[in-house]
Structure 1
């Protein structure tokens, strides 16, 4: 799986580079169609990096004996990602990009089938339950793109349903599939309170989608339902922290893991706060900053740092001066960009005219992330022998 890890890091480098181009365009440098490039950035980041990372973790947790179906599936999925990378910048959601997106969707279905096949042949554990339900939520997430295609075909791109279909896809992909894979890793096969954590997470997942609907000014019960779901996730996280040590093989990987858990903790707090009218009003007034800041908090602060700690801990990336430098630059870029995004949102709410050169400043600090990721990617191509724990 070393080749698969390198490919995933290359996609992360490309996604970060595209993100920097988007920042340059926001700063006033015209290059390409911003919306099309944004679609490219999100798809390459979500599928090329986080989905691939989840794939590698699943492969490891299942202790696969017959590797051929997984290897074949991985490479077909990469074809779909390359297709999206080369088509989205030029046509957005068009015939070619939708074709490759559909190929990815069917690849994800096959991954779920493999998960169920592998877990069916072994004793049921809380870990296997997390993996199975993560797969179910992965399938559920695909309803979003199908609905998106329908709304676009019927000139409904300006309706709330178009945005809700995107939020549906994102919610069940990262709150469902991605988070459940991470929790499967944490609970292992014998965590004493793993079953309680699973029940809390599973019970909260569907009603938590209510948070993505609050901007439509729904009935009051949606606020209460979303708040209860957010609270259940906080309880599950507290139980996990009390029942599971987060120590790793060395202090550096432990540091990365703890940072990712801190980011996840902030995510949970923001979810609970977001179930209130006042915070929803704040979000609606600051969407370009608060929403993007939240998404990056989850994707970069939580998932990316967790995946890096996992890869380092399992010696799938060599822990060297170069990889440590790359990780530190990435973390500095994440912290500074998050501070700017949420800071700008707060200043707008307070009507304080500060950070007038916001986008050039954001672009400057954001440049640390692709540089750091590039150094990490280069370090993964080290010729020094690394034990491959997955093979």
Structure 2
């Protein structure tokens, strides 16, 4: 598993570096096609880092780290990611990038097949239920890319349906598949209220998608549905926190897990607040700040810190001083950039001029993240095995 983790960290480093390049371009430095680089950044971050991380967790939870089917699938998936890495920057959504994206989609389908196959002995266990339904939502997310292809072929790239297809993909990927893999790890068979958690999480997924359509000024029913979905997830979070085991209070992995859960709790609060017309007006007026801030809160604050916590806890990455220093730089970068993004959103809504050189400042702060990620990646590749004396 260590090699899988290291490869995933390389993709995280590349995604973070591309994120910094995007910040530089927002600051007025022309480097390359912004839209193409944005596509590359998002795909490598989502698939090369978070999807790979979910794949590693699934393999570990199912005890199939050395299963030939999983091993072959992992390496074929890496081929699809590398193909996207070297095609999206030059053509955006073109023939080559779409071909490699399609390869990833079919790899994800086979992952779902393997999940069902390797949970057939205990299909009703809590872990199996979360992994199986996570797989179902992974398949559901793929409808988004298919729809994108149709809309692009019919010159509908500027339509609301094009954007809704992206939101569909993202919603079922990270609110469905990614999140259910996290819950498969956190919620065990002896976890209090595990059945309620599982039922409520499933019940929340469909209505919560309504949150992604509120920007088009839909009927009031959509606000009601998104509010129901957001409220159900908040209830689940309360059950989760109440049932968590906090006996290990001083370890570095536990600290990262706590920070990840704080970020997840903030995400849930923002979801509920975003289910009101007033907050939607605020979001529509501050998209470059509030929406990007929310996405990074989820992907960096929650999923990235959770994955690092999981990898450290399983000792696939040794906790050296360099690694801890890099991780702290990442955390500081996340906190400062989120503060800037959401602070700018609030002040923009209030028509208060503040920090006119906002993007250069944000770029400087954001640079802490790729530097920190690079340091912890270098540490993970270190050949010397360092005993973890710092837990």
TM-score by length of 1: 0.97
Deviations 1:145-198 (A, max 9, x none): 000000000010111000000000000000000000001100023213111100
Q: Return the offset for 1:246.
A: 4.4
RMSD, aligned α-carbons: 1.3
Look up the match of 1:172: 172
Match of 2:260 in 1: 260
Q: Larger deviation: 119-128 or 203-212?
A: 119-128
Match of 2:154 in 1: 154
**C-alpha spacing 1:27/1:112, structure 2 compared with 1 (3 Å):** same
Q: Distance in 2 between the 1:378 and 1:19 partners? A: 19
Q: SS in structure 1 opposite 2:223? A: helix
SS of residue paired to 2:224: helix
Report 1:185-224 matches (<5 A). Answer: 185-224=185-224
Partner of 1:307: 307
Q: Structure 1, residues 178-237: CA drift from partner, whole Å, max 9, x if none?
A: 000001100023213111100110000111000000001111011011101100000001
Residue 22 of structure 2: aligned partner: 22
| Equivalent residue, structure 1, for 2:5 | 5
Q: Which runs of 4+ in 1 moved over 6 A?
A: none
Counterpart for residue 318 of structure 1: 318
Matches within 5 A, 1:86-235: 86-122=86-122, 124-235=124-235
SS at match of 2:119: helix
Which residue does the alignment assign to 2:42?
42
Q: Distance in 2 between matches of 1:279 and 1:65?
A: 45
Answer yes or no: is 1:83 the counterpart of 2:86: no
Show the counterpart of 1:379. Answer: 379
User: Could you tell me the TM-score, scaled by structure 2's length?
Assistant: 0.97
Deviation of 1:64 after TM superposition, in Å, equals 1.9
Cα gap change, 1:120 to 1:386, in 2 (>3 Å): farther
Aligned residues: 387
Secondary structure at the aligned position of 2:63 is classed as coil
C-alpha distance in 2 between matches for 1:170 and 1:221: 22
Q: Judge conservation of contact 1:39–1:88 (CA < 8 Å) in 2.
A: yes
CA–CA separation in structure 1 for the residues paired with 2:385 and 2:118? 30
The offset of 1:315, in angstroms, is 0.6
Structure 2: stretches of 5+ with no match in the other structure: none
